């Protein structure tokens, strides 16, 4: 029986995910200096404003004296698409903040890379280098 304890596939995937978070954060920081909490709040406010405009435009469709039905439908479509895109953006940003990919001043993001991850990745790279040829 092999008593050598290697890195399990589950742990390796968890370590790679932690590494992905670190790299994403580095790339994000290289492109933007910081994301302020107020900017995230403003994004959510924008989402609410655009949704409200969409609802108002849709409700305008039932006005008895509406002269340009096609134009109003096009306007509603515009606000709906904008609201959907902003909603996706809000969700993506929230997910990235929770995953510690996007640094936000005033939030505790913890260590960028745990000592365990650093060691495990170094060990994996060393074993990979010693292993020789790789087949993909």
In whole angstroms, what is the distance from residue 20 CA to residue 85 CA? 25
Q: And the tokens for 6?
A: 């290697």
The yes-or-no verdict on residue 127 having pLDDT over 80 is: no
| pTM score | 0.61
CA distances to 51, 67, 134 from 64, rounded to whole Å, are 23, 9, 71
Percentage with pLDDT > 90 across the chain: 35
Buried b (16+ CB within 10 A) or exposed e, 23-39: eebeeeeeeeeebeeee
Q: Check: CB of residue 101 under 8 Å from CB of residue 25.
A: yes
Express each pLDDT in 70-121 by its tens digit: 999 999 999 999 999 999 999 988 888 887 777 788 877 565 556 676 677 6
């Amino acid at each position: 029986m092999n008593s050598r304890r290697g890195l399990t596939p589950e742990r390796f995937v968890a370590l790679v995910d932690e590494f992905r978070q670190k790299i994403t954060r580095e790339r994000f920081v290289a492109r933007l200096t910081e994301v302020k909490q107020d900017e995230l709040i403003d994004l959510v406010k924008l989402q609410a404003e655009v949704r409200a405009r969409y609802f108002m435009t849709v409700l305008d469709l039932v006005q008895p004296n509406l002269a340009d039905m096609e134009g109003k439908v096009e306007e509603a479509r515009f606000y709906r698409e904008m609201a959907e895109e902003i909603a996706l953006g809000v969700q993506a940003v929230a997910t990235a903040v929770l995953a510690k990919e996007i640094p936000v001043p005033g939030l505790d993001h913890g260590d960028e890379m745990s000592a365990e991850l650093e060691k495990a990745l170094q060990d994996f790279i060393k074993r990979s280098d010693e292993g020789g040829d790789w087949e993909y």
